[in-house]
Amino acid sequence: GQQVMQIPQYQHVQEGEDFTTYCNSSTTLSNIQWYKQRPGGHPVFLIQLVKSGEVKKQKRLTFQFGEAKKNSSLHITATQTTDVGTYFCAGPRRYQFYFGTGTSLTVIP
Amino acid sequence: NAGVTQTPKFRVLKTGQSMTLLCAQDMNHEYMYWYRQDPGMGLRLIHYSVGEGTTAKGEVPDGYNVSRLKKQNFLLGLESAAPSQTSVYFCASRRKLAGENNEQFFGPGTRLTVL
């Protein structure tokens, strides 16, 4: 079945350092979504990528969708304490979404 | 708009007890989902519904049942709770139409402990 793998599982960074999480699918995806979950909270949608090779930016966050549409990445430049949380990618299959295992980001002030 | 709401927020059950989790959305979304979240395993889909009166199994459906009698409500039932069902349960909904930013809206979650 479809699997969405995400690495790393955990990442600790000093405030101001950069952070990247990677998402890989065993199958080609029509699109990929990214979500952020703050500690004790619920997942909140960040962005959706649709096109092969697509790059989107949201302030300090840069999202990429691979040329083969099987991988994606989220890069945060100059992390801040407000970036703390778990970041999930999600790939669709018909009506369902398969979520990656998530990357938990800790930012050390 | 309240978005997606879930009741209860917390619950402790004994093994063998039953309960129903309620999810309600006021966005007129066609699709609704129930996920469970366990440490290190991300979000796993239990059951989903693509419309009123229809439900389907997800990745981990065993031990759960669902019903969608009204478009705005999606109920998750545990007939005989087991410790392995200790988890945080999230409900989500989204529009039927595909396209840009067809995001899932999540509820605040229900933290369930089965002793």
Write down the pLDDT at residue A37.
Answer: 97
User: Looking at beta carbons, which residues of chain A come within 8 Å of B31?
Assistant: 95
Nearest Cβ partner for B108 among A9, A42, A98: A42
User: Looking at beta carbons, which residues of chain A come within 8 Å of B33?
Assistant: 96-97
End-to-end CA distance of chain A: 41
- What's the token pair of residue A62? 């840069």
Write down the pLDDT at residue A2.
Answer: 57
Cβ contact (<8 Å) for B100 and A50? yes
Nearest Cβ partner for B40 among A9, A44, A45: A9
pLDDT confidence tier of residue B100, bands split at 50, 70 and 90: low
Question: Which residue in A has a C-alpha nearest to residue B4's C-alpha?
Answer: A42
DSSP A81: G
Question: Which residue in B has a C-alpha nearest to residue A9's C-alpha?
Answer: B40
A residues 33..62 contacting B (CB < 8 A): 33, 35, 41-45, 47-48, 50
pLDDT at B115 over 80: yes
Give residue-wise pLDDT tens across range A43-63: 999 999 999 999 999 999 999
Write down the pLDDT at residue A95.
Answer: 85
Write down the pLDDT at residue B98.
Answer: 66
Distance set, CA B95 to CA A98, B2, B44, B107, B114 (Å): 17, 16, 20, 15, 33
Give residue-wise pLDDT tens across range B23-80: 999 999 999 999 999 987 889 999 999 999 999 999 999 999 999 999 999 999 999 9
pLDDT at B95 over 70: yes
Write down the pLDDT at residue A94.
Answer: 83
- Per-residue pLDDT for chain A (109 aa), expressed as one digit of tens each? 558 899 999 999 999 999 999 999 989 999 999 999 999 999 999 999 999 999 999 999 999 999 999 999 999 999 999 999 999 999 988 888 899 999 999 999 9
Write down the pLDDT at residue A96.
Answer: 87
Q: Establish, for the pair of chains A and B, how many residue pairs have beta carbons separated by less than 8 Å.
A: 54
Contact A12, A27 (CB under 8 A): no
DSSP H/E element including A61: strand A61-65
Nearest Cβ partner for A33 among B35, B50, B103: B103
pLDDT at B87 over 90: yes
Write down the pLDDT at residue A46.
Answer: 97
